[in-house]
Amino acid sequence: MSKLYVSVEVIEDVKAYFKEHLPKYAVLKVRRKSYHPDDSYLYMVSAKKDDGTYAVWTGWNETTKSLNYGHYDLTSEEDCEKVMNEFYYSKDSN
């Protein structure tokens, strides 16, 4: 299994959080924040708001089930990917 695999449990936890705290958003993607095993509980989340805008949170903590570092009013899924790529910690970014 890929080290960047996101478990169904994590995705369901994120969706439950959004349902309770951010009901105007629909989750689009949950992505690992880093390749490193010590960061296995950190993720990023993109979502589409019901007004047609997009957002990315670069800090979903699966241990505490908390969401931080929002980037709002993005115009497309491509913009979400750009933000996620910018904040992804890869082994090449040292």
Instruction: Domain count for the chain, please give it.
Output: 1
Reported confidence tier of residue 94, pLDDT bands at 50, 70, 90: very low
Answer positive or negative: Cα dihedral of 68, 84, 10, 25. positive
Q: Find out whether 44 and 57 touch, Cβ atoms under 8 Å.
A: yes
In a domain, 17, yes or no: yes
Cross-strand pairs, 67:
60
* 26, part of any domain: yes
d(CA 90, CA 61): 18
Q: What pLDDT band is residue 22 in, cutting at 50, 70 and 90?
A: very high
Boundaries of domain holding 54 = 8-89
pLDDT digits over 42-83, tens only?
A: 999 999 999 999 999 999 999 999 999 999 999 999 999 999
Residue 62 carries which DSSP code? T
Residue 56 and residue 46 in contact, taking contact as beta carbons nearer than 8 Å: yes
94, part of any domain: no
Residue 3, domain member (yes or no) = no
Q: What is the pLDDT of residues 50-60, one digit of tens each?
A: 999 999 999 99
Starting at the edge strand found earlier in the chain, the sheet holding 42-49 runs: 25-32, 42-49, 54-61, 66-74
Residue 1 lies in a domain: no
Residue 82, SS3 per DSSP: helix
